[in-house]
Chain A
Amino acid sequence: MLNTITNTLQIDPTQNPELAAQIDAILEEHRNKPGCLMVVLNEVQTKVGFVSEQIQDYIAASLHVPVSKVHGVISFYSFFTTRPRGKHTIKFCLGTACYVGGSPQLIEKAKQLLGIELGDTTEDGNISITMEACRCVGACSQAPVVVVDDTIYGRVKPSKVTQLIRALEKEG
């Protein structure tokens, strides 16, 4: 996995003023809403890309709630990640339509090409790709669906998976 992120600078708001400012802005905007914790965490996940343990501590202190509560929420919802993902993410839809439409084959192909399992991130040097499964992205009529970063590809064939991954590797 991502051992490249050894320095906590990137993920600790108390050591990274820029990150702290970003999170403060989110906190200020939403802190007065009832049930604001979910809103804040959602925004942080979307804008920062992850909610590290240090960020959880920071949010808990700012909202005056126990860290355990923040942690409980983070661990409950699959949308939150505590670690930064790879530079690129390739997601395979395992919703019903996509499963029936052949996404397991696509995953097989990608595993072979990337040499990793679902949920892992490649480590070779300058390019990191995270491979994940996801549930229905709402494009079922185009099953099977693959999502590369934010781009959705429909009716994907195994050969297309090769193309997509090669394109990412080229892009770096």
Chain B
Amino acid sequence: MTYFRSHILVCNDPVCTNKGSMEIMQALIDEISSKGLQDEVQVLDTPRIGNCENGPEILVYPEGLHYINLKKDQIPFLVEEQFLKGRPIPDFLAPPKKEQAQELGEPTAKEVRVVLRNCGKIDPQNIEEYIAEDGYQALAKVLSESTPDEVIDTVRRSGLRGRGGAGFPTGLKWSLTRDTVSNTKFLVCNADEGDPGAFMNRSVLEGDPHSVVEGMIIAAYAIGATQGYIYCRAEYPIAVRTLNIAIEQARAYGLLGEHIMGTDFSFDMEVRKGAGAFVCGEETALIKSIEGKRGEPRPRPPFPSVKGLFGKPTNINNVESYANVPQIILRGPEWFSSMGTEKSKGTKTFALAGDVNRTGLIEVPFGITLREIVFDVGGGIKNGHEFKAIQTGGPMGGCLPTADLDLEVDYEKLTQAGSIMGSGGMVVMDDETCMVDIARFFMDFIQDESCGKCVPCRVGTRRMLEILTRICNGEGRDGDIELLEELCVEIKQDSLCGLGQGAPNVIVSTLKNFRDEYEAHIYKKECPAKVCRALIQYEIQADKCVGCTACARNCPVDAISGEAKKPHSINPDTCIRCGICKNVCNYDAILVK
């Protein structure tokens, strides 16, 4: 590879691209060529550089300088100063990291990067850089040294389990598809990532697409597939583009297509886009969607390994499952299975969101406790608040309380505690969160996304939503909790797919861990966390209000009156209890009761 003396990384995450980071990138490339520096300075794009408030953001290596808020007309000056004269421009630099970051101590001490090892480090659009990091060596090794059965055996011994949610052993899944006799077999990568609050797969697809492509080619060899599809959600245009580039390059290098690496093995793949239906993440629905049909799940068996895409045996795995494969082949199954717990091996990526200081993508070995994730990796709860619950696994997961913080994260333990691993969303909630409201929120999502094919899910989730809504509105009745419990049992038992079967989890877990909150809503008509609008009132404390008028100007319904510099007051009849005034008041004068 050419040796570059400097590298510029330009942020290609949505916030920055929308502020024109790709134009900045082009301007940098143009300016660098016009100064004759194109063989010395390389410009790459990469996901998420900073805290996303000051895009377009770039990083300059080896110095590690972080420039923010760049404008196109500043680029010539920047290139001249930084790369010709070697002088950083203090005015453009990001301010030094705040104390918050220091309080984190060693932020990555508990993290282990396997799946994310290349993200942010290599140019995802350049196959050479992937190859320089041992890319496609696992494929070469497999094609030259191993039979398909040996590959499957290696994956089986590593203990890899599906990262899409259910945790089915990957080696076993491959052998089931391999053992089904058919001339045509398909391979599918599930990149639908529909869980709100989750973006792990997106980061891998955008940051290291070749690891997924390589993992898929190895899987195709193992099971005997000839054609592959990556089903990617429509909301991820950059991932789709990056994947297409990666596939194109792999083809050009003879890693896809006929006679891969000069062997008899042939395989190709293409990207298919979803169209905004959450249930299409379910494997049988996803298959129908690729076939160009409505994405309604169907009963299993037959499993896709026997009868899948276009009626043929099909192996379907999640993005992260495939991305682990090349490393398992290269470093050996023992290395992989040395990480994790007895039944869950390796690492898992999580999208940590909500009320923690450090939100974002993390990768940790199984067996880490929730407490370590929230407090060590995530840096604890924001703004000095208390931890209340952590919601794991997306809409079909549950909410775990403080008592579960020492739980070691693996598939079985999360399930036992009443939640699920899911694909890896983790939303941390502080003491200002109302758990009944959260249950209502998830039920709203599930009810909306239910495909309506089976009655328990379609009608049952609607009933549960109605009940939760009325509890939040202060109209809960005696017996509502019991009614919810009954519905939960029925829906779990009688639904066709995982969406309906998992729908009750959020209610069951909040009822188990936060039952007092339900009771307060129903019997005392109180919302302890002061969230549910029908049960709270906003009031201005005259002694604290300085009359700055900020609240009155921001109230969406003009419920606040008062003269400037005099205490204001809220008209409870017009107030819709949105809480905006409390947020904008800098004097802490507004009270919720």
Contact = CB atoms under 8 A, between A and B. Distances in A.
Contacts of A159: 554, 584
B445 A135 contact: yes
A152 B517 CA distance: 35
Given A38-B272, A95-B197, A138 B580 contact: no
Contacts of A39: 272-273, 292
Nearest to A101: B354
A39 to B, nearest CB: 7
A100 B355 CA distance: 8
B391 interface: yes
Contact of A108 (B193, B293, B578): B578
B275 A112 contact: no
A138 B202 contact: yes
B273 A155 contact: no
B102 to A, nearest CB: 19
A77 B276 contact: yes
B584 A96 contact: no
Nearest to B235: A137
B26 to A, nearest CB: 18
Interface string B5-32: 0000000011100110000000000000
A77 to B, nearest CB: 4
Contacts of B195: 136
B234 interface: yes
Interface string A77-100: 111100000000000001111111
Contacts of A98: 196
Contact of B441 (A96, A102, A113, A140): A96
B290 interface: yes
Given A42-B273, A78-B275, A140 B197 contact: yes
B583 A97 contact: no
B267 interface: no
A95 B256 CA distance: 37
Contact of A77 (B194, B277, B556, B583): B277
Contacts of A153: 15
Contacts of B296: 76
Interface in A107-150: 108-109, 111-113, 135-143, 150
Given A37-B292, A96-B391, A96-B441, A77 B353 contact: no
Contacts of A76: 277, 294-296, 451
Given A38-B275, A112-B556, A137 B14 contact: yes
Nearest to B48: A141
Nearest to A99: B441
Contacts of A49: none
B531 to A, nearest CB: 10
Interface stretch (B171-179, B300-308, B425-433): B425-433
Greatest chain B CB density within 10 A among A36, A38, A111, A142 is at A38
Please report whether the interface of chain B is mostly helix, strand, loop or mixed according to DSSP: loop
A15 interface: no
A110 B278 CA distance: 26
A138 B276 contact: no
A96 B427 contact: yes
A33 B19 CA distance: 36
Contacts of B375: none
Please report whether the interface of chain A is mostly helix, strand, loop or mixed according to DSSP: helix
Given A36-B292, A97-B196, A97-B427, A154 B15 contact: yes
A7 interface: no
Contact of A140 (B235, B351, B433): B351
Nearest to A41: B275
A108 B353 contact: no
B22 to A, nearest CB: 12
A139 B14 contact: yes
B583 to A, nearest CB: 7
Interface string A30-51: 0000111111011001000000
B191 to A, nearest CB: 12
B580 A105 contact: yes
Size category of the B interface is 35 or more
A42 B250 CA distance: 25
Given A97-B353, A109-B556, A109-B580, A154 B235 contact: no
Contacts of A102: 583
B235 to A, nearest CB: 6
B52 A143 contact: no
B295 A138 contact: no
A6 interface: no
B518 to A, nearest CB: 19
Contacts of B391: 96
B199 interface: yes
A152 B554 CA distance: 22
A38 B554 contact: no
B516 interface: no
Contacts of B355: 100
B52 A142 contact: yes
B429 A100 contact: yes
Given A80-B275, A99-B441, A136-B197, A104 B354 contact: no
A148 to B, nearest CB: 9
Contact of B197 (A37, A80, A96): A96
Contacts of A111: 556
Contact of B578 (A41, A77, A105, A139): A105
Contacts of A95: 196-197
B292 A158 contact: no
Contacts of A150: 18
B473 interface: no
A76 B414 CA distance: 32
B13 A38 contact: no
Interface in B251-284: 272-278
Contacts of A78: 275-277
A145 B334 CA distance: 43
A138 B310 CA distance: 31
Interface in B346-380: 351-355, 359-360
A135 B197 CA distance: 9
B433 A100 contact: yes
A151 interface: yes
A21 interface: no
17 contacts: A35-B290, A76-B295, A76-B451, A79-B274, A95-B197, A97-B196, A97-B197, A105-B579, A112-B557, A138-B235, A138-B236, A139-B13, A140-B199, A140-B353, A151-B19, A153-B15, A155-B53
Given A35-B291, A136-B235, 9 more contacts: A72-B293, A76-B451, A95-B197, A96-B196, A102-B583, A139-B52, A140-B198, A140-B351, A157-B584
Interface of B: 13-15, 18-19, 48, 52-53, 193-199, 202, 234-236, 272-278, 289-296, 310, 351-355, 359-360, 391, 425, 427, 429, 433, 438, 441-442, 445, 451, 554, 556-557, 576, 578-580, 583-584
